[in-house]
Structure 1
C-alpha cells in the first residue's frame, strides 16, 4: 500500500480554500504546558488498505418515505426516511424489524411490510426534527419475546416533556430533549400490529439534541444460565457537552456511558428496573451502579461476536479526527474527553491532537482495537465537519460467505465506505488492527460506491444482521436495505504503479465529498478538494469513459447569448498569495503531466457573449490545467487545451516555467476534431519537462505529432524546474476557478483527470491508457 503524503500546516500557512468557501479562522499553533509545539495533524497516516474482495449487494427492501417532527431545518435530516437498523424477531417467525427515527417500527415478513408501532402517533411529545439521532432510536426484543411478548424501545421527547416528566436522574443543564426507554408487552407476540401495554423504565434529559441514547440491546450470545441473560445495555451519549465538561468521566452522571440494567428488577432509583449485582461499580460511593463502561462521546453501535470469547465491540463516533472500534469490558474508561482515540485531546485546539503523556499507562484508559482518521481535504476548514462518522457493524461468523468469516464489517455512515478488520487482529493493548476497504458491486457485477447505490453524496449508512447470519446494509438517503448476497474478487485500481508514485491529484467524479457533495474528493496524494462550480451535483452525470467508471463531469456554457458567470466548470483556487499548500508538489517541479478522458458533447468553441459581434467565439476551449504561482486564474504552469494557433484551433500543451515569464506552446498537427470526434471518449495527455524545455501530447496512449509555436527559449531553461511557488489552483473546463468571470468554456465531459509532478514518458502514458481496459 502506498502511504499518504503528509502536509504539515503551520500557523502562517492558512488553509487555501476554493472560491465558494469562507476562510477559516487563523489558528495559533497550540503548545504543551512546557511551551513546545507538538500538534499531530495526521494522527493515523496509513489509509485503509484496499481489500482483495468485494461485497455483492442485493436489494432487499424499500421502506416508505417519512418526515421528521417538527419540520427540520437541517438538510442532513431531510432524507427519504431515517431507518437505522435491521434485525430478526426472536420467535422463529422469520420476520425482520426495522426502526425509523421518524416514528414507525416496521415488521418485514417476506415482501410484506407492516407498521407494527408508530411512535409519532403514539406520543404527542415525540420529537425527531432536530439532531441526527433524535426520534425513535432503537428497538430490541427480549430473548423470550415469543413467550412473554416483551420488547424495549428508546425515543426522544421535546421540551414540553422536560417541563412535566420526572427524569430517572437529574437532566443535564438546560435540557432540550429527553430520551425515554420503554418496555412494551404484546398481548399477541405473533401479531403484525402491536396491541398490549407499555411502561416507562428510564428517562434522562440532554442539553443538546445530539448524542442522546443511541442503541439499546440484549447480549444475544448469553444463555438462560448466564449472568448476562436478559440484561439490557443502554448506549448513552454525552449530550453534546462532553467536549467542554467532565460529564463522560463523572460516575454520578449517566451521560457518556454504557449502562447495564435488569428490566425485570426493581432496585433502581425509580423502582422500574434493577441494577445487576455484578456491574463493575455496584456498591461504590458516589457512583451509579448501572454503569458498565464510561468515558464516551457518542457510543453509536455495539455488537457481540457470536463466537470465540463473545467479545463486545463498540463503534464510537469521534469529535474531530478519530473514528474508533473498541472491545468493551466491564469497568472500561474510553477516555473521552481527555482522549480521542489513542491521543490526547485539547478542547481549546480541536484542529490538533497530541501525543500521550509519559504517565499515560497509569491512568487506565482503554484504547481502540481499530481506528481511522478523518483526513479532511487540506483546502477545507480544519474546524468544520469533514463528513465522517463510524457506523458500528457486525462480526460475521456465517457459513454462506466464508471469505467474511471472522471479520468485523463496519463502515463510515456519512460517505458510505465499507470496511472490515480481522477479529483475530483486534486485540487490546496490541497495535491497531489493519482496516481494509471493501469494494461494492450490484448483482449485475457493476462496481459501485454506496453514493451510487443511493444517488447521494451523504449515504447515512447502517448495518444489521439476522439470526441466519445474513448481513444487511441500510441507507437513510433513499430508504433502502440491501442484503450481502455474495463476495467476489476486488477490481484493481485503474492507476498504474508508475503513475501512482507521482500522482498529486486525481478526480474520477465517483467520490462526492459527503460534507458538501458539490465538491469532489481527491484520490491523489495531495488530498485537495475540487469544487464543481455553478452546476454542483448536477455536473456528475451517469457516463463513464472506460469499464468500471459510472460517472463523468459535465462541463458546459450555460447562457451563450448573454454575459454572465454561470458556466459549468471545476477548480481549486486560493486568494492567498502563498497559493494552495496541498499542491506544493508542483512548487519548483522539474516536470508535470496532465491527462484524462474527454468527450465533446456540444458546440466548441463557444460563443463569446462579451464581444460586440454576436457571431464572435472564444479562441480557446479549456480542458484542464495547473495555475502558476502568481496566476490571476488564467495564467498556467501546465495546461491541456484547445487554442487557436495561426487562426486554426489546435490541441495544445501550454506551459510556463517561471512565474510571470513567457509561455511555450506545443501544438498537435492533427485536426482537433479528428483527435476529439464529437460524442467519443478520448484519453489525452500532455507532458512538460521544465529542465529540458520539451513537451509532448498523446491521444489514446499514442504520441501526437506536433511542433512548438514560439521560436527560441521562452522558458529560459537552465536545467532547473519551475519557480519555487505553490500553484494558485487547478482549472477544469474554463479559466478563472475563483468564479469571478468566464472564459473559454468547454461543452464536454471529463473523466479520471490526473495531475502528476513529473513529465511521464511515452511508455508510462501508454501503460496507463491500457490499464483502463485490462484491469
Structure 2
C-alpha cells in the first residue's frame, strides 16, 4: 500500500473514531497546550565516555549572533564506507576531520572553507558553513564523497542557482562532489565538481543534510542515490514554497549524482522518485511540506524506515516516518495541528475534513512549553535533533530504541521504534534516559558541554554504535553502556525487565492506560474500568496504588469484567524480547478478594463456574486472547483449584502445567498481599513457583514431553513470533470475551525474558517488602 494512502487511512480512522454522527462541521479552535503529555523519565541509564575533542575554530566572518560563538561547530560523526574503520567529522566553520575508530586526536583531511574562500560563509545563520559530508558507498574504490556548504558575496552575482532562487536571495547552498586520487590517504588530494546549487532568501533553513541510504546494496533501487534535506529558507511561514512542487525548498530531494538528466545536467533524476515525469513538479522531490528538515536516518533493522527530526515554528518538535511522496503539511500544518498565519500565538485543532488532504503526521513529538510570560513569537529555546535507531550489538538494552534530543538544552530522549507507526494514529511515548559519565556520576548534557546551550548532535558508526556531540566545547562522547535502573528492582534483574507495571503511572492524557516502567515501553489498557481500576492500596514499600480486577455482572453474559493488558492480532513488537527466548519470569504482588472461580457468565447455568482465575501472563504468538506462552494463575487440576505456572514453548502446541501442592487458600490468603513468582525454563523443561520469596513444592500435570525438548542438543526456545500481548486479571485483553476473571488486586507486576534464580526471587521480595 502506498505510504500516502496508509497515512490517509490512518487519519480517516482517527477522524471516524473522534467524529460524532450527524454533527455539523466544527470550526478549528485555538489550543493553549498542543501536546500536554511530556517526555517521561526512564529507568534506562546511558553511560557517556569522552571520545574526542576538536580544536577551536572561528566563524567566517565574525558572527553577529552570539549563538554562533562555539568552541568547534562539529555537526556529525560517521564512518567511511571503505572498511578502514576511520571516522569522519565535519565542522561548520570549514574543516573535515578524520578520526581513528578508538577516537583520540582528530586529523584535518580537507579544508572546505579555504577551498571556496572568499565566498564561503559560516558566520551568519545557525546552519551556515560546511554543513555535512556524505561518502559514496563505494568510496574505497572510487574515492568519491559529497559536501554541502553555504556561499555569499560575489557568488550571488557570478554564480547561478540551478532553480529559480527565492526572492531576495542572500545565500547559496552548494553541493560538491570530490574525488580523491588515493582513497586511503590521510589528507585529500584530487578533483571536485559542483553538483547542485540552491538560492535561499534567509540565513536559516538551508540545506541541512545530505546522505546515502547505508542499508542499500548494489542492485537496490536506492543504491548510490543522494538524499538532500532542503529547508524552506525561512519563507514557509509567509509563502507556499514547502507545498509548491515546482520549487525545491521545504523538501527532501533524491538525486543520482552519476546521472545527467537533472536540471543542470550534472546529476540524474531517479525514475522511481514519486514526482518524476509529473508536469509542473520537480522530479527531484522525494517528500515535501517541511520547514526545517534537520536530520534524517534510516532504521536498518525494521523495514529500513526513514526517520526525520523536523524543527517546528510555533510549538512542535517532531519525528516523522517519511516515505516517498509524503506531505508533512507545513506551512498549513505544524505537526498534527492547524497552523494559522493570522494567529502566531496558537496552533489550532484540525478541520473536520482533514482526512481529505492526506498529510503525514508525526510518529513522535513534544511541544515547547514556554515559561509564563514568554512572548509567543520569541525563540522558545527548543529545536529537535533527529538521531538513530540503535541496531548495534554492544548495548542490547538500547536495541530498537530511537535516540534523539533537543539541540538547545541538550535533553536526550528515546522512543521505541516499533511504536513509531503512522498507521496507529497515535504518537509514540517519549522517554528521558538518565545520563552518567564514565565515573558513574549522573550528569546532563549541559554539565558535559559546560554550557546551557549544548548544540546537541548525534553520530553513528558502521557497527551501529552511537555518539553524542556538542558544539559548545567541541567534544564527542560515545555511549558505552546501557543499564536499567528502575526503583525497587534488583540490580541483576534490571537488564531483563521487559515490562513492569506499578499502577502509579497513568499515560498522560489517557488515564485508562498504564505506562510501562520496563524496558520495552509496552503500555497496557485498564479494560472496562479505566482509571477507576487504579485504587489506593499499599502492596509493598513505596506503593500507593494497586490494580483492581473483578467480575462486574456475574449473572449477565458480556465483556464487562475489569482486567488489563494489551493485544495485537499480528503480535506486539515491543514484546519481541519474548520471541525465541529460553526463559521467562513473571512475578508480582497479589491480594485475593474472592472465594473461588467466578460464575461463568458465558452460560445460562447459575451453577456453572469458570475453572480458573487469571493472574498475569504473556500470550503466545498465535493466541486468540487466551492461549499463553507463560502464565501465572489459579486453575482446576484434578478437580481442585491450585496455584499454577502454565506455559507452551511452541505456538499451537501442547502446554505444560506446574501446580503447587499447598491449597490455594493457604498460598493466597484472603485480603492479604502475597508476592508470587513463576519461572519458566524452556530449555530444561522446568517451571517453579514461589510465595514470598520461598519455593513452593508442586508437580507437573502432563506426562511425557509436551514442550518437545527431548533429543535436541541445541538450546530450546519459544516460537520465533512476537507475543500477541499481555493479559492481567483474566483472558482476552482485546475484550472480546469474559473468561476467568479475578476478584483481586495486583501491584508491582514484572515480566522478564529470562529465568530468575531462587536467590534473585528471594532478594526481589526482600527488596520490596
TM-score (normalizing by structure 1): 0.59
Q: Which residue in 1 is equivalent to 2:145? A: 151
CA change 1:36–1:279 in 2 (3 A) is closer
| Deviations 1:446-485, CA, capped at 9 Å, x for gaps | 1011111111110000001001221000000000000001
- 2-structure distance, mates of 1:407, 1:108: 26
Q: 1:383 aligned to 374, 377, 382, which one?
A: 377
Compute the displacement of 1:41 (Å). 1.1
1:401 & 1:287 partners in 2: Cα distance? Answer: 44
Tell me the equivalent position of 1:663: none
The aligned counterpart of 1:451 is: 446
CA distance in structure 1 between the aligned counterparts of 2:29 and 2:320, rounded to whole angstroms: 26
- CA contact 2:28–2:348 (8 Å) conserved in 1: no
Q: Which moved more, 1:401-410 or 1:106-115?
A: 106-115
Q: Is the 8 A contact 2:52 2:105 kept in 1?
A: no
> Following superposition of structure 1 onto structure 2, how do residues 360-371 of structure 1 map, counting pairs within 5 Å?
360-371=354-365
For structure 1, the residue ranges without an aligned partner over 5 or more in a row are 1-32, 502-773
In 2, Cα distance between equivalents of 1:249 and 1:481: 37
Q: Provide the residue aligned with 2:54 in structure 1.
A: 63
- 2:182 aligns with 188
In 2, distance between residues paired with 1:270 and 1:78? Answer: 37
CA distance in 1, matches of 2:275, 2:441: 52
CA deviation map 1:554-603 (0-9, x unaligned):
xxxxxxxxxxxxxxxxxxxxxxxxxxxxxxxxxxxxxxxxxxxxxxxxxx
SS at match of 1:106: strand
Provide the secondary structure at the position in 1 that maps to 2:74.
Answer: coil
Specify the alignment match of 1:118 in structure 2. 111
| Distance of 1:176 and 1:280 partners within structure 2 | 30
1:213 to 204, 207, 211: 207
Query: Taking structure 1 as reference, are residues 209 and 456 closer, same or farther at Cα in structure 2, changes over 3 Å only?
Result: same
CA–CA separation in structure 1 for the residues paired with 2:332 and 2:435: 37
Alignment of 1:475-624 (within 5 A): 475-490=470-485
1:91 equivalent in alignment to 2:99? no
Query: What secondary structure does 1:421 align onto?
Result: strand
Looking at structure 2, the residues matched to 468 and 267 of structure 1 have their Cα atoms a distance apart, in angstroms, of 35
Q: Does 2:164 correspond to 1:173?
A: no
Secondary structure of 1:159 counterpart:
coil
Give the equivalent residue in structure 1 for 2:72.
Answer: 81
| Structure 2 counterpart of 1:433, from 404, 428, 432 | 428
User: How far has the Cα of 1:38 moved from its partner?
Assistant: 2.5
Q: Whole-Å Cα distance in 2 between the matches of residues 227 and 391 of structure 1?
A: 28
Query: Which residue of 396, 406, 413 corresponds with 2:400?
Result: 406
1:492 shift after superposition: 6.2
Matched, 1:467 2:458: no
Q: Distance in 1 between matches of 2:69 and 2:252?
A: 29
The answer to whether the aligner puts 1:225 opposite 2:219 as a matched pair is yes
Q: After TM superposition, what 4+ stretches of structure 1 lie above 3 angstroms from structure 2?
A: 33-37, 489-493
Q: Which residue of 2 aligns with 1:248?
A: 242
Tell me which residue corresponds to 2:44. Answer: 53
Deviations 1:509-549 (A, max 9, x none): xxxxxxxxxxxxxxxxxxxxxxxxxxxxxxxxxxxxxxxxx
1:34 is displaced (CA, Å) by 10
Give the RMSD, CA atoms, in angstroms: 2.0
Other-structure match for 1:576: none
TM-aligned CA distance change 1:322 to 1:308, over 3 Å: same
Q: Residues of 2 paired with 1:139 and 1:216: CA distance?
A: 7
Q: How many residues align?
A: 466
SS in structure 1 of the partner of residue 31 of structure 2: coil
Q: Which residue of 2 aligns with 1:681?
A: none
Partner of 2:312: 318
Shift, 1:490, TM fit: 4.2
Change over 3 Å in CA distance of 1:37–1:220 after alignment to 2? closer
1:489 Cα deviation from its structure 2 partner = 3.3
Match of 1:397 among 370, 382, 391: 391
> Alpha-carbon deviation of 1:488?
2.5
Contact 2:300 2:391 (C-alpha < 8 Å) held by counterparts: yes
Q: Determine if contact 1:410/1:418 at 8 Å carries over to the other structure.
A: yes
Give the SS at the match of 1:424. helix
Q: Is the 8 A contact 1:99 1:105 kept in 2?
A: yes
1:491 is displaced (CA, Å) by: 7.0
